[in-house]
Structures are given as structure tokens and as C-alpha cells.
Structure 1
């Protein structure tokens, strides 16, 4: 998605309040609720300058999470439990084989949420393209990183419409970010068949493995993604226009769903 206005900071300027190196913590497979509590504790400490900017790198066991705009029609049709969470967006799924990254970062003033999201996307696009999915980009009106329908996947089992390969969902409190991004690497797509992921029913979901026609473990993308994220937040990797299409925003005009 192209930025609808000029960002508050020049493209080559850091969006972080601190210039200290990121504290990257690879914490492995972590229960969603446990990771959420971990984020909340770090965010509180970051807001009081008791810790520096921290990036959690992990995977979750099978979990559906519903953001603030989730609608009843989005929910699992098989009765699976759902964690109601304080990030934006609608429902998504997490599971093994999906790389999850949670930046707990204090943003520079004035806080620019749109620019932060675009920089996350830019980091994902850079990592995914370097790994071989050269056509990955944005759909205007929708967050995340996408592969266009015009690009055939190497695995014939892959979906054929425009397909999301990475999702975003964030929360910013007192200038400190929480939640973040998930990149589908080698996970199954079966769980997505029971929900309307991100409230989108006119597109599909894919994985790095399906797009490249080989097994792509999360370990293969960790270093490239974190490196690109560091550079994007620092302004060394400038946000570029990688838009290949447009579509309706699935959360526009929706009120927060009742809890």
C-alpha cells in the first residue's frame, strides 16, 4: 500500500527514539498468551526506559487470535477457541512453521503509525524477495505482504488468486509498539479454511514453501527478516512503492467488535 501522505520523517531517518542496537531475542515456540504477557511487560518497561528496544522472534502453537475489528462471521466455523487480543485488525491464525516477530520499540516523536507499518512491510518484502519470491508486494487498501495472482507458485497445490504471505497487526501505547508480523514459511494452510482471515474472502493465503516449491523452514528467514527490519526502522532500507493492485480495506468503517 502506498503511503496516503508524506511520512513525518524523511525516508532515510530512523523512526526509533533510540539509536542503541536492537535486543533480538529468539524465544522459540511460545504459547500465545505467554508471549502476549511477555510483550506487555517489556512494553511497560520500555515506556519507562528500563529496557531498550527489543524484538521477540518466535513461533506459536495452533492459535486463532481476533483483533479489535473482528466480526462474528470471521470466527472459526468448527468451534475452535479464539483469543481476543488488543491489536488492530480482524482474525488470523498462528501455528508452527509460521515465523512471528514482535518489535517492542519506542518510536520517535511525533509518532507516525502509518510509516511504522510501511517499514514493517518493507522489511518483509525485502526478505521475501531475497529468498526468491520476487513479485511480493503490496495491495493498496490492505496491509501485509502479498503475491499477485499473475505470479504462478512453483507448487501446484498453492492457491491461485492474490495471496497473502505475511500479515500485520500492531498496537502502539505511549509511543511503544506491540504485536507485529507473521510470515508463513512452512505451515499448513488448513486452519485458514475455518475462518475469514483478516476479514478477506476474495483472496487467498500462501506460504514461502508453496511459492518456492520446496520446504522453507522459519530458520531460513529469521536472519534476513530481522536484518531487513533493523535497516527499515533505521531508515537504511527506504519504503518503496511495491504496489501491484488495489482492493477494499476489510476493516474500514467497522466498529470494534463486542467482547
Structure 2
């Protein structure tokens, strides 16, 4: 069982969290580099961060600025931050009552397969939502977790976007729990036109405690990745 250091950062600004992720990633990459240079075998650390961001839009490196429907002045008026970042994927929204998970894992401790890594993150959320009676799935060619794929009512409940450097991951997933979905109206989420977003609250018709959902996420993540949180 791989040990993963779990931290719940609570409510934290996006830039501050991004910097912290980068710091953890660089620390792990340095350990790996030193091992190769010096012929040592010092273990690398794995991390998992939970966080809740203030209102922010983030645009991945392959994304189009056209998918942000507000100008700079409108962003200021609505008090929404905006960042171009180094993960894959297009534009998405983070905000209050959304669970964001950032695993900073050395995949050489698990498996060296980014595709498998993404699928297991999706499966973590799929199994979590199944505990609430929701049947969610993947949408071919569209990373994330969806409901009613293949119908006119297809809607996304969880976005994914990751980056890896020397098999060390950063960024992760954003699950809409009691999220104000109105903020998605100002973007073309993930650059996909004509498909809606949803939340756990909207699907169930009631608010859901974030801590309750996090507990389920942790359980399924550990089972799928054969890991334990410390």
C-alpha cells in the first residue's frame, strides 16, 4: 500500500494553491533526479490536497480564450479571478461548495500510465456518486464524469485536468456538490458547446455536506490506487 500524505487546505486562493502544488511537485522531481545522479534510492512522497477555491476560471494550455465569455472589466465587477495554467483541458470554473482534489503523486510508485491515471480518477468519482444513487459515466473523447451521456440531457458533474512532469502529477478534479452553477454561464465549460453542467445538490434536490462526500472520495481513491492516507 502506497502512503499518500492527505491535506485539507480548506478555503484557499487559487494562486496560492497552485504555487503549493508546484512546490510539492518540484520537491518530488528533485528527489528522483538526485536518486538518478547519485545512485541512491530515497523514497518519493505522494500527496493529495483537498481545497475549496473562491470564484475563479482557469484555462488549460490547450484551451481557447474564446471560451471565456467575460472581458477583464466584467471579471473584476463579478469578483472572479482568471488564470491561464499548465494543465491539460480547456476552461473550467472553481468556486465555493465545490470539492477540488489535487493528487501530487509519483506515478512510478503506482503505474506509469497517464491514461490509466485519468480513468482511475474518474472511477473514484463515479463510485462516490453511485453511493448517492446516481448513475454516472465517461463520455468518449471528453474527460470527466457525466450523466445521461448520449442523450440530449448529457451534463457534466465533475471536470478533470492534469499535468505530469517526470511521472509526477499535479492539478486534478473538481466535483460540483452544492456549487452555484450560474458561474458556468459565463464560459463554454471545457470548450464543449451545447452540453450542460450539474451538481450533486441539483441532482438530489438537497444540499450535501462536503465532508460526507470527501469521506467517500477518500475511500474509493484508496481502494483504486491501493493506497492509504497518512
Tell whether 2:33 aligns with 1:32: no
Give per-residue Cα distances to partners, 1:98-139, cap 9 Å, x unaligned.
Answer: 000000000028721101000100101000111221x11111
TM-score between both structures, scaled by the size of structure 2: 0.85
Deviations 1:209-253 (A, max 9, x none): 000111113222101012211222229xxxxxxxxxxxxxxxxxx
Query: Matched residues in 1 for 2:224 and 2:17: separation?
Result: 24
Indicate if the aligned counterparts of 2:44 and 2:106 stay in contact, CA closer than 8 A.
no
SS in 1 for 2:108: coil
> CA offset at residue 190 of structure 1?
0.8
Cα deviation per residue 1:77-99 (whole Å; 9 max; x = unaligned)? 35425201000000000000100
Q: How does 1:1-259 map to 2 (within 5 A)?
A: 19-49=1-31, 52-78=45-71, 79-80=74-75, 81-108=81-108, 111-133=112-134, 135-148=135-148, 161-234=153-226
Moved over 4 A (4+): none
Q: Quick check: 2:137–2:149 contact (8 Å CA) kept in 1? A: no
Structure with the bigger percentage of helix: 2
**Secondary structure of the corresponding residue to residue 224 of structure 2:** helix
Contact 1:166/1:182, CA 8 A, preserved across alignment: yes
Structure ranking higher in strand proportion? 2
SS at match of 1:61: coil
Equivalent residues, number: 208
Q: Name the residue aligned to 2:34.
A: none
Q: Distance in 2 between matches of 1:138 and 1:98?
A: 20
- Contact 2:48 2:104 (C-alpha < 8 Å) held by counterparts: yes
Could you say what secondary structure the match of 2:115 adopts? helix
Gaps of 5+ in 1: 1-18, 152-159, 236-259
Contact 1:97 1:217 in 2 (8 A): no
Return 5+ residue gaps in structure 2 as ranges. 32-42, 76-80
Q: Distance in 2 between matches of 1:179 and 1:104?
A: 8
Instruction: Report the Cα distance in structure 1 between the residues aligned to 2:170 and 2:162, rounded to whole angstroms.
Output: 6
* Contact 1:125–1:136 under 8 Å retained in 2: yes
Q: TM-score, normalised by structure 1?
A: 0.76
